Amino acid sequence: MPRRRATGYDSKLVHIRDTAAALFARDGFSRTSMAELANACGVSKALLYHYFDGKEAILFDILRAYLDDLEEVIRIDRAQSASARDHLRALIGALLAQYRQAGNTHKLLTFDLSVLPQAQQDELRQTERRIMACFEAALVDAAAEAGRITPLDGPRAMMLFGTLNWTYTWFREDGAARADAAKGKARSLGVSDGAVVGLHNDG
Lowest mean per-residue pLDDT among 45-49, 79-83, 148-152: 148-152
| Confidence at residue 65, expressed as pLDDT on a 0 to 100 scale | 95
190 pLDDT band, cuts 50/70/90, is very low
- Round to whole Å and give the CA distance between 177 and 155: 27
The answer as to whether 1 is a domain residue is no
The answer as to whether 142 is a domain residue is yes
Each as own residue / partner, the long-range contacts of residues 52-57 (CB below 8 Å, 24 or more positions apart, any chain) are 52/1, 52/2, 52/3, 52/16, 53/1, 53/3, 55/29, 56/115, 56/116, 56/117, 56/120, 57/1, 57/2
Interval 63-84 mean pLDDT: 89
pLDDT of 34 over the 80 cut: yes
The answer as to whether 202 is a domain residue is no
The answer as to whether 190 is a domain residue is yes
Tens-place pLDDT, residues 54-68? 999 999 999 999 999
Interval 46-58 mean pLDDT: 94
The answer as to whether 118 is a domain residue is yes
User: What global pTM score does this model have?
Assistant: 0.75
Domain count for the chain: 1
| Confidence at residue 47, expressed as pLDDT on a 0 to 100 scale | 92
Residues 6+ apart with CB under 8 A from 200: 179, 193, 194
Q: Tell me the residue range of the domain where 23 lies.
A: 9-197
CATH of residue 66's domain is 1.10.357.10
pLDDT of 195 over the 60 cut: no
